[in-house]
Structure 1
Amino acid sequence: MALFTRFPMAQVGSHRGLTPPAVAVHATSAAHSQILALDGIRGVAILLVLCYHLARSLAAEFDFVNRFHLLASFGWVGVDLFFVLSGFLITGILYDSKGHTHFFKNFYVRRALRIFPLYFSALFFLLLLRAVWPDLGLYGHASDVWLWLYLTNFVIAVHDYGAFGLMDHFWSLAIEEQFYMLWPFVVFSLSRRGAMFMALAMCIAAPLLRTAFALTQDNPAAIYVLSPMRMDSLAMGALLALAIRGGAEGMAPERLRLPAIWGGGLAVALLLLTILVTRNVSPHTLPMETYGFSLVAMAGAATIVLSMTTSLRHVFENGVLRWFGKYSYGLYVWHPILWMIIFHSDKARALRNGEGTAEMIASVLVAVLALLAFVMASWHLMESQFLKLKGRFQ
């Protein structure tokens, strides 16, 4: 996800051949500011996801929390925001390195150094957990082989949610990995304009696919987790990245400010109207499945533009948001694993010995502290060590 992508500083917000020496320092400063803002957007995305899953866990175990559950139930849009960020950041990296020596090798090795250590560490943790706690009851019924192959989303589409238990959330990582496997070839093979047409076609095709599937099949999980159904979010980010590049053919981000304000505002307004009419914030309503995901993607792309061109960037440059953005990949990978154990295992329920406010507060504290400890240890002891190797593959 965009959980784990950083933009090369000198490449954000500039166009090839359009940055004269006199403004090079200003361009670098602006790029640095935009990196901070994008980290903040990433932080907002992971906080939405954390609130969503925390509310679901608490509502399942503490009945009185259900009245507050609705407030966090729209947090699923955090994953969609990650998709838009990934499309934007990855496409920018690919386009800016197009024509460089070892284009594919450098991209895939750098992605592997960022993604694989944590991902496969979580899978080894699952193997260890099965060995020491075989009766946990949270493992799901599908073979772990699909986790190792990044095909989680296809299995969930066939067998529904719960197929992988506490690893179900890896469906979104599978979508991202499938995007990484295919999209570099599109950017490499096509011109900037051709890649933009491809991204635009994906933005149009995805809601049409979802609509056809929703009207003919009764499988909301497939609509939510299959890559062809969700490609508009990634493509929306990709389209934006290509639009602001290309030298004289490209558009300065400032020229997109007004379209972003109107387009993003319209998308948010239609989403709110949809929620008011359906009285449901679930991603599994027909309006959300057909056009709602595309509206979320539009709002996400608009947020990226506005974070680069307006004072909104100061909101996303907030240190707390950027901190969560920095650790967002680890937070995403570990939080359902740890929280399902803490909230839903039989031993945890026995230890709580009640469903009152005190038990809930204690459970939340344990859940949050355990997550932060895992994530920070993972970053400092493992992830950052692998990231030091990325400089060899520029």
Structure 2
Amino acid sequence: MVSQRNLLLDVFRGLAIFLVLLRHGALTAITTRMGWIGVDLFFVLSGFLVSGLLFREYAANGSLRAGRFLLRRAFKIYPLFYAVVVIYLFYNWWKGVSVTTGSVLAELFFFQNYHPGIIGISWSLAIEEHFYLLLALVLTLAATRGYLKGRIVPVVCILIMLLCLTGRALTNAWLPFSPYTHFFPTHLRIDSLTAGVLLSWYYHYRYEATKTFARRYYPALLIVVAAGLLPAFLMEAENEFILVPGFTLLYVAFGAALAIGLIFQWRIERILAATRLKGLYRALAFIGRYSYAIYLVHMLAGPAISNFINQYFFRGDLPVISVFLLKTAANIGTGILLTWLIEKPALGWRDRYFPAPVLKPSASHV
């Protein structure tokens, strides 16, 4: 059962943001090469968690309130995001960096995955915003017609995955590489979030079958995880293999890892409790709680703070590992600060004026 604050899911969030920090941390060639996969882990997690909110509501009440769902997501995403946009605008003004109207509009209206914005990494947020709208529309329509618990949802998910894979193959064959045509577009990357929806549907509506499958075939699932992640360690993100089947292998791997984690969570945590890895597990979970804010600021806060400290206190003599640790600490600290100053108050207002749906007693798994 997925609780509102599940420690394992926070660990996955913490792992995802740490991978992203490695991508931009200039630590080693291999960590820079493979760290981008943290974004795809975020995608699978978002698909699983956000669709799970709707699946639980329907399982309990037999209906969905898409408007309230989207409004509550807006309170989660927008206050902190727009605050960071303002911070970036102020920083660019202070540094004398010109900002175009188009880049600002791309950020404000979430099409920065098709047109350059000012934050640089917010293209992934645009994909998630588009996903939320599509998810609310499709699942509400399915719920209205009584299809939500039927197999039409997995069929639609698989269809979206195949369409995205086909789209990536055609794009790679016809167009010269650009992040805005091959890597960032929603219509080519939304399948990673859809994979999370597919896992969520089985977890919520076919839990016993999912548990039986995971327990019976977990050695094969572990092989799937390893095989799906391997290409990202060996190839650059712009490699043709990564750009077409690589993305598919990646979300399959992360979906398998998430399924294993959810089904065997109590065993994993019991084993870790008896080892020194327990502290690392809880540290990742703690960082995962602040992963959204850390992600938003990590391209600005870490470099700016670490460069200032390195230049004025160490005269630029710090080794690479020390600079990375300084950046990481600065990013985590800034993320925690912004979470408490902006995100948590916004969520408090949300829960006060637009509370989550009351779930009636249900025989459903969740």
1:301 equivalent among 255, 260, 268: 255
Equivalent residue number for residue 337 of structure 2:
377
Report percent identity of matched pairs.
24
The answer on 1:337 being equivalent to 2:295 is no
Q: Identify unmatched segments of 5+ residues in structure 2.
A: 357-366
1:114 equivalent among 70, 76, 95: 76
Equivalent residue number for residue 45 of structure 2:
85
1:326 equivalent among 260, 284, 289: 289
Q: What is the CA–CA distance in structure 2 between the aligned matches of 1:339 and 1:142, rounded to whole Å? A: 26
> Structure 1 residues 100 and 118 mapped into 2: Cα distance closer, same or farther (>3 Å)?
farther
Equivalent residue number for residue 123 of structure 2:
171
Query: Does the 8 A contact of 2:14 with 2:286 survive in 1?
Result: yes
One-letter amino acid matched to 2:138:
V
> Structure 1 residues 220 and 352 mapped into 2: Cα distance closer, same or farther (>3 Å)?
farther
Equivalent residue number for residue 266 of structure 1:
224
Q: Mapping of 1:231-380 within 5 angstroms?
A: 231-246=190-205, 251-257=208-214, 258-259=216-217, 261-269=219-227, 271-272=229-230, 274=231, 280-310=234-264, 311-313=267-269, 318-341=281-304, 356=317, 358=318, 360=320, 363-364=323-324, 366-380=326-340
1:186 equivalent among 138, 143, 149: 138
> Structure 1 residues 142 and 54 mapped into 2: Cα distance closer, same or farther (>3 Å)?
farther
Q: Mapping of 1:34-183 within 5 angstroms?
A: 35-55=6-26, 68-98=28-58, 103-135=65-97, 142-155=102-115, 163-164=116-117, 167-183=119-135
Query: Does the 8 A contact of 1:46 with 1:325 survive in 2?
Result: yes
Q: What is the CA–CA distance in structure 1 between the aligned matches of 2:11 and 2:310, rounded to whole Å? A: 36
Query: Does the 8 A contact of 2:112 with 2:126 survive in 1?
Result: yes
Q: What is the CA–CA distance in structure 2 between the aligned matches of 1:169 and 1:79, rounded to whole Å? A: 10
Query: Does the 8 A contact of 1:203 with 1:235 survive in 2?
Result: yes
CA RMSD of aligned residues (A): 3.0
Q: What is the CA–CA distance in structure 2 between the aligned matches of 1:322 and 1:366, rounded to whole Å? A: 20
Q: Identify unmatched segments of 5+ residues in structure 1.
A: 1-11, 14-30, 59-67, 156-162
Query: Does the 8 A contact of 2:228 with 2:250 survive in 1?
Result: no
Q: Normalised by the size of structure 2, how large is the TM-score?
A: 0.81
One-letter amino acid matched to 2:190:
M
Query: Does the 8 A contact of 1:236 with 1:297 survive in 2?
Result: yes
One-letter amino acid matched to 1:115:
I
Deviations 1:64-102 (A, max 9, x none): xxxx32244211111000000011111111122235677
Q: Normalised by the size of structure 1, how large is the TM-score?
A: 0.76
One-letter amino acid matched to 1:384:
K
The answer on 1:229 being equivalent to 2:181 is no
1:210 equivalent among 168, 180, 193: 168
Q: What is the CA–CA distance in structure 1 between the aligned matches of 2:224 and 2:257, rounded to whole Å? A: 13
- The aligned length equals 335
One-letter amino acid matched to 1:49:
V
Q: Mapping of 1:7-22 within 5 angstroms?
A: 12=1
